[in-house]
Amino acid sequence: MEVIRSQKRTPSNDTVSNPKIPLYLTAPQMEVRLEEFELFAIDRLRVLKGVSDGLARGRNPKEMDDLVDTLWKEHMRDPDASLMFNKDIISHFVLRLVYCRSDELKKWFLSMETALFRHRFRLQNFEAQRAIVGEFGLPYKAVTGAELEGLKERLGQVVRSLGQISPTVEAIYYKVPFEEVPDLVASRRVLIQKGYAFVAGSQLVSLVVTQFRSHISKALILTNRKWTTTIREREKDRLTPIVEALSTSYLGPDYSQSTEYAEISLKDIDQVAKSSFPLCMRHLFEKVREDHHLKHGGRMQLGLFLKGVGLKLDDALAFWRAEFTKKVGSERFDKEYAYSIRHNYGKEGKRTDYTPYACQKIILSAPGAGDHHGCPYRHFSEDNLRAALGRMGLSSRGMEGVMDQVRNKHYQLACTMTFEAVYGTSCDAGINHPNQYFEESQKILKSKTPPAPV
Amino acid sequence: MTREEIESREDESMMDAPQINKPKPEEFFNVNYLRIYYGKSPFSFFLTIKTFDLLRKPNNKYIIDGKHPGCDEYYFGRREFSFTLENDVYLRYKSFKNASSMEDAIRSHFPYKIDIGAVYSVDPDKRHAYSQTGSNVFTPVERELVFDIDITDYDDVRYCCSGADVCSKCWPLMTVAIKVIHTSLTEDFGFKHILWVFSGRRGVHCWVCDPKARRMTNEQRSAVAEYFRVYKGNENNARKVALMGYSLHPFLARSYVDYLKGFFEGELQATQSIFSTKDKYEKILAMISDEDIQSELRGKWENSARSSLSEEAISLVRWEQLKNTLQSKKHKAPTLRMCVEEIVFTFTYPRIDLEVSKQMNHLLKAPFCVHPKTGRVCVPIDPNNCDEFDPLAVPTLSQLIEEINSGGSRMDVDDDSDDSDTSLLGKSVKFFRSSFLEPLLKSCKEEIESSYKTKIGKSKDSLSW
Q: State the pLDDT at residue B245.
A: 84
- Contact A229/B at CB under 8 A: no
Say what the alpha-carbon torsion angle A237, A238, A241, A247 is, to the nearest 10 degrees.
Answer: -160
- With pLDDT > 90 as the criterion, what percentage of chain A qualifies? 27
Is 90 exceeded by the pLDDT of residue A36?
Answer: no
Q: State the pLDDT at residue A283.
A: 94
Average pLDDT over residues B172-192: 97
Interface test with A, best of B139, B184, B189 (most A CBs within 10 A): B189
Q: Which of A164-173, A193-202, A293-302, B150-159 has the lowest mean pLDDT?
A: A164-173
Distance CA A299, CA A356 (A): 12
Is 90 exceeded by the pLDDT of residue A247?
Answer: no
Looking at B53, B123, B144, B150, which residue is catalytic? B150
A230 or B180, higher pLDDT: B180
DSSP string of B278-327?
HHHHHHHHTTSS-HHHHHHHHHHHHHTTT--S-HHHHHHHHHHHHHHHHH
> Cβ A186–B250 below 8 Å, yes or no?
no
| Contact in structure between B152 and B164 (CB atoms under 8 Å) | yes
> Cβ A195–B212 below 8 Å, yes or no?
yes
Q: State the pLDDT at residue B309.
A: 77
Q: Which of A151-155, A366-370, A403-407, B355-359 has the lowest mean pLDDT?
A: A366-370
Q: State the pLDDT at residue A200.
A: 87
CA angle B445, B77, B192 (to 5 degrees): 35
- Is B5 an annotated catalytic residue? no
- Is B53 an annotated catalytic residue? no
Q: State the pLDDT at residue A140.
A: 77
Q: How many CB pairs under 8 A join A and B?
A: 64
- Contact B191/A at CB under 8 A: yes
Whole-number average pLDDT of chain A = 83
Is 70 exceeded by the pLDDT of residue B365?
Answer: yes
Of the partner residues B217, B223, B246, the one whose CB lies closest to the CB of residue A185: B223
> Cβ B188–A194 below 8 Å, yes or no?
yes
Task: Establish whether the linkage from the previous residue to B42 is cis, with ω within 30° of 0.
Answer: yes
Is 70 exceeded by the pLDDT of residue B438?
Answer: yes
Nearest chain B Cα distance for residue A268, angstroms: 40
Residue B248: its chain A contacts at CB < 8 A? 157, 161
Most confident of A239-248, A306-315, B27-36, B443-452: A306-315
Is 50 exceeded by the pLDDT of residue B65?
Answer: no
Residue B18 — very low, low, confident or very high, per pLDDT cuts 50/70/90? very low
| Contact in structure between B386 and B178 (CB atoms under 8 Å) | yes
Q: How many CB atoms lie within 10 A of CB B445?
A: 19
The answer to whether the complex's ipTM is over 0.90 is: no
Is 90 exceeded by the pLDDT of residue A180?
Answer: no
Is 60 exceeded by the pLDDT of residue B24?
Answer: no
| Contact in structure between B259 and B287 (CB atoms under 8 Å) | no
> Cβ B246–A163 below 8 Å, yes or no?
yes
DSSP state of A230: I
Rg of chain A over all Cα atoms, to the nearest angstrom: 26
Residue A358 — very low, low, confident or very high, per pLDDT cuts 50/70/90? confident
Quick one: angle between helices B99-109 and B44-54, nearest 10? 140
Tens digit of each residue's pLDDT (9 = 90 or more) over B72-117: 556 778 888 899 887 788 999 998 887 778 878 887 887 888 898 9
Residue A398 — very low, low, confident or very high, per pLDDT cuts 50/70/90? confident
Interface test with A, best of B216, B220, B254, B257 (most A CBs within 10 A): B220
| Contact in structure between B26 and B374 (CB atoms under 8 Å) | no
State the burial class of residue A420 (Cβ atoms within 10 Å of its Cβ: 0-12, 13-18, 19+).
Answer: middle
Q: State the pLDDT at residue B212.
A: 92
Is 90 exceeded by the pLDDT of residue A237?
Answer: no
Whole-number average pLDDT of chain B = 78
Quick check: helix, strand or coil at residue B422?
coil
Nearest C-alpha neighbor of B144 from the set B366, B376, B307, B407: B366
Distance CA A302, CA A308 (A): 10
Q: State the pLDDT at residue A336.
A: 81
- Contact A351/B at CB under 8 A: no
| Contact in structure between B157 and B170 (CB atoms under 8 Å) | no
Residue B227 — very low, low, confident or very high, per pLDDT cuts 50/70/90? very high
B205 or A395, higher pLDDT: B205
> Cβ B252–A188 below 8 Å, yes or no?
yes
Strand-pair category, B90-94 with B79-84: antiparallel
Residue B204 — very low, low, confident or very high, per pLDDT cuts 50/70/90? very high
Who contacts B292 (Cβ-Cβ below 8 Å, separation ≥6)? Answer: none
> Cβ A185–B227 below 8 Å, yes or no?
yes
Average pLDDT over residues B6-22: 33
Strand-pair category, A31-33 with A2-4: parallel
Most confident of A169-183, B34-48, B132-146: A169-183
Residue B244: its chain A contacts at CB < 8 A? 163
Is 80 exceeded by the pLDDT of residue A392?
Answer: yes
Q: State the pLDDT at residue A445.
A: 86
DSSP string of B232-244?
---TT-S------
Q: Sign of the C-alpha dihedral, residues B205, B209, B212, B217?
A: positive
Q: State the pLDDT at residue A320.
A: 92
Q: Chain A: residue nearest B190 by CA?
A: A194
Interface test with B, best of A106, A185, A207, A210 (most B CBs within 10 A): A185
C-alpha distances out from residue B308 to B300, B311, B321, Å: 16, 9, 18
Residue B149 — very low, low, confident or very high, per pLDDT cuts 50/70/90? very high
- Contact B245/A at CB under 8 A: yes
The helix or strand, by DSSP H or E, that contains position B204, with its residue range, turns out to be strand B203-208
- Contact B226/A at CB under 8 A: yes
Residue A162: its chain B contacts at CB < 8 A? 245
Is 60 exceeded by the pLDDT of residue B66?
Answer: no
| Contact in structure between A356 and A307 (CB atoms under 8 Å) | yes
Of the partner residues A158, A182, A193, the one whose CB lies closest to the CB of residue B223: A182
- With pLDDT > 90 as the criterion, what percentage of chain B qualifies? 30
Q: Which of A5-14, A270-279, B362-371 has the lowest mean pLDDT?
A: A5-14
Tens digit of each residue's pLDDT (9 = 90 or more) over A113-139: 999 999 998 888 877 877 887 787 777
Residue B254 — very low, low, confident or very high, per pLDDT cuts 50/70/90? very high
Of the partner residues A161, A192, A196, the one whose CB lies closest to the CB of residue B247: A161
State the burial class of residue A58 (Cβ atoms within 10 Å of its Cβ: 0-12, 13-18, 19+).
Answer: middle
> Cβ B226–A191 below 8 Å, yes or no?
no
Residue A232 — very low, low, confident or very high, per pLDDT cuts 50/70/90? confident
> Cβ B249–A158 below 8 Å, yes or no?
yes
Residue A352 — very low, low, confident or very high, per pLDDT cuts 50/70/90? low
> Cβ A191–B253 below 8 Å, yes or no?
no
Q: State the pLDDT at residue B29.
A: 52
- Contact A157/B at CB under 8 A: yes
Nearest C-alpha neighbor of A49 from the set A258, A250, A222: A250
Q: State the pLDDT at residue B12.
A: 35
Q: What phi and psi, each to the nearest 5 degrees, are found at residue A52?
A: -60, -45
Q: State the pLDDT at residue A95.
A: 92
Beta strands in A295-339, from DSSP E residues, in sequence order: none
Tens digit of each residue's pLDDT (9 = 90 or more) over A280-296: 999 999 999 999 999 88
Of the partner residues A186, A188, A195, the one whose CB lies closest to the CB of residue B222: A186
Q: State the pLDDT at residue A129.
A: 79
Is 60 exceeded by the pLDDT of residue B47?
Answer: no
Residue B8 — very low, low, confident or very high, per pLDDT cuts 50/70/90? very low
> Cβ B191–A161 below 8 Å, yes or no?
no
- Is B419 an annotated catalytic residue? no
Q: State the pLDDT at residue A249.
A: 52
State the burial class of residue A117 (Cβ atoms within 10 Å of its Cβ: 0-12, 13-18, 19+).
Answer: buried
Most confident of A270-279, B413-422, B430-439: A270-279
Tens digit of each residue's pLDDT (9 = 90 or more) over B278-332: 888 888 998 888 888 999 999 888 877 666 778 888 888 899 999 999 988 878 8
- Contact B110/A at CB under 8 A: no
Q: State the pLDDT at residue B238.
A: 65
Say what the alpha-carbon torsion angle A253, A255, A256, A262 is, to the nearest 10 degrees.
Answer: 140
- Contact B216/A at CB under 8 A: yes
Q: How many CB atoms lie within 10 A of CB A412?
A: 24
Q: State the pLDDT at residue B324.
A: 92
| CB neighbour burial string for B332-352, b if at least 16 within 10 angstroms, e if fewer | eeebbbbbbbbbbbbbbbbbb
Is 90 exceeded by the pLDDT of residue B257?
Answer: yes
Average pLDDT over residues A61-89: 90
How far is CA B94 from its chain centroid?
22
- Contact B232/A at CB under 8 A: no
Q: State the pLDDT at residue B41.
A: 38
> Cβ A162–B245 below 8 Å, yes or no?
yes
Q: Chain A: residue nearest B220 by CA?
A: A182
Most confident of A278-282, A328-332, A397-401, B442-446: A278-282
Average pLDDT over residues B184-202: 95
Is 80 exceeded by the pLDDT of residue B432?
Answer: yes
- Contact B251/A at CB under 8 A: yes
